């Protein structure tokens, strides 16, 4: 290659994400002419210990504007990393952390630093004429065989992803076919079969924040029953062909002072040991492969008991 992959321009701008909220897009241009733009996502429910997403406040976009984060990229971060070799990703990330000076990127905003970091990696991949995954594997000398991940398809929404319905945030299906294409096909067939089942039983088929259906169900078990039925009706075997998963997002309904998990839709409260027993009952009754965030992020005693109890089957 005639040109070293040195960073020549870093340009950030404000765009809208899939929820219609502002977020940061950043384009990195290398001296070789290669360039790439990265767009930062944002979660509906985030942990209190996660890196800070910098918002403008005020009336504009309901306080969710990201002009401050964009300025931080264009006026501070860009100047600091211009001229650096894009192959030195660790050094670039380290410089951004040092300039920010905080543990959670409260100065620049994680939406600014992540946009830059991703854009650098993608621009380097363009320079190398490789897909991003191959570029990362080449840079960091990953030795393991490359494979596509198992898709986790969020087909029933609740919690912070829907206005009513389930207390847990996501109920998912995990197709287990040999090829990725077959997994996508199986998941799609189950999704459409689930829509027919919901309509036949008088449930709404409106979708939640992440594209899954958000019917007003009685409890989580009813959601799992529907998924198992949809899997069978689509011609697949629950567990063998398609497994289940759930993102409980327990921090969203944990009452820290009372030390109770309040399932508002079910009008039931659980202590951590009681909730663990419920998870174990789910594991016994359903082909449940994964349980994400089963307890609140700061409920350390629950985690100490939970991990040994659940990790053999799902966590």
CB 158 within 8 A of CB 167: yes
pLDDT at 140 over 90: no
* Neighbouring residues of 27: CB distance < 8 A, sequence distance ≥ 6: 9, 10, 11, 12, 35, 36, 37, 119
Residue 125 sits in the same domain as residue 164: no
Tens digit of pLDDT for each residue in 35-64?
A: 999 999 886 656 566 788 999 999 999 999
Answer whether residue 146 is part of any domain: no
Choose between 130 and 308: higher pLDDT.
Answer: 130
The confidence band for 315, taking pLDDT boundaries of 50, 70 and 90, is low
Choose between 120 and 19: higher pLDDT.
Answer: 120
Q: What is the pTM of this model?
A: 0.84
Specify the number of domains making up the chain. 2
Distances (CA, A) of 300 to 46, 170, 253, 272, 307: 18, 23, 16, 10, 11
Query: Residue 161 has what pLDDT?
Result: 47
Answer whether residue 82 is part of any domain: yes
Query: Residue 50 has what pLDDT?
Result: 76
Domain end point (choices 112, 140, 168): 140
Domain end point (choices 81, 107, 140): 140
Residue 176 sits in the same domain as residue 136: no
Domain end point (choices 140, 170, 191): 140
CATH number of the CATH domain containing 71: 3.30.390.10
Choose between 289 and 163: higher pLDDT.
Answer: 289
Query: Residue 1 has what pLDDT?
Result: 47
Answer whether residue 147 is part of any domain: no
Answer whether residue 88 is part of any domain: yes
Residue 93 sits in the same domain as residue 232: no
Both tokens assigned to 100: 């920010």
Residue 104 sits in the same domain as residue 204: no
Strand order from edge to edge, sheet including 288-292: 153-157, 170-175, 242-247, 288-292
Residue 161 sits in the same domain as residue 262: yes
The confidence band for 119, taking pLDDT boundaries of 50, 70 and 90, is very high
Percent of the chain at pLDDT > 70 equals 94
State mean pLDDT over 96-103.
95
Query: Residue 48 has what pLDDT?
Result: 60
Answer whether residue 70 is part of any domain: yes
Dist. CA 162–CA 166, nearest whole Å: 8
pLDDT at 77 over 50: yes
Domain hosting 252: range is 153-310
Answer whether residue 57 is part of any domain: yes
Answer whether residue 1 is part of any domain: no
Tens digit of pLDDT for each residue in 177-202?
A: 999 999 999 999 999 999 999 999 99
CATH number of the CATH domain containing 195: 3.20.20.120
Answer whether residue 145 is part of any domain: no
Residue 131 sits in the same domain as residue 264: no
Both tokens assigned to 268: 């039931």
Both tokens assigned to 30: 């290398």
């Amino acid at each position: 290659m005639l040109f070293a992959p040195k960073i020549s321009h870093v340009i950030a701008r404000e765009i809208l994400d899939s929820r219609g909220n502002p977020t940061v897009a950043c384009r990195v241009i290398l001296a070789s002419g290669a360039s790439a733009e990265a767009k930062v996502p944002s979660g509906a429910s985030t942990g209190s210990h996660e890196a800070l997403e910098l918002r403008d406040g005020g009336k504009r976009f309901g306080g969710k504007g990201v002009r401050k984060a964009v300025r931080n990229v264009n006026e501070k971060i860009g100047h600091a990393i211009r001229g650096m070799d894009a192959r030195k990703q660790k050094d670039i990330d380290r410089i951004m952390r040092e300039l920010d000076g905080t543990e959670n990127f409260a100065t620049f905003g994680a939406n600014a630093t992540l946009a830059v970091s991703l854009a650098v990696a993608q621009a380097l991949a363009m320079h190398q004429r490789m897909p991003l995954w191959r570029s990362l594997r080449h840079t960091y000398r990953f030795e393991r065989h490359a494979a596509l991940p198992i898709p986790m398809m969020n087909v029933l929404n609740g919690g912070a992803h829907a206005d009513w319905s389930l207390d847990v945030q996501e109920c998912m299906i995990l197709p287990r076919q040999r090829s990725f294409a077959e997994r996508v096909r199986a998941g799609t067939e189950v999704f459409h079969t689930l829509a027919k089942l919901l309509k036949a039983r008088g449930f709404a088929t409106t979708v939640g924040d992440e594209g899954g259906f958000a019917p007003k169900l009685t409890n989580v078990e009813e959601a799992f029953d529907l998924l198992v039925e949809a899997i069978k009706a689509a011609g697949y075997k629950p567990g063998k062909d398609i497994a289940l998963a759930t993102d409980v997002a327990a921090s969203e309904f944990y009452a820290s002072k009372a030390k109770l998990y309040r399932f508002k839709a079910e009008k039931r409260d659980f202590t951590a040991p009681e909730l663990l027993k419920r998870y174990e009952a789910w594991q016994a009754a359903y082909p449940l492969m994964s349980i994400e965030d089963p307890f609140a992020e700061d409920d350390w005693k629950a985690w100490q008991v939970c991990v040994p109890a659940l990790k053999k089957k799902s966590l």
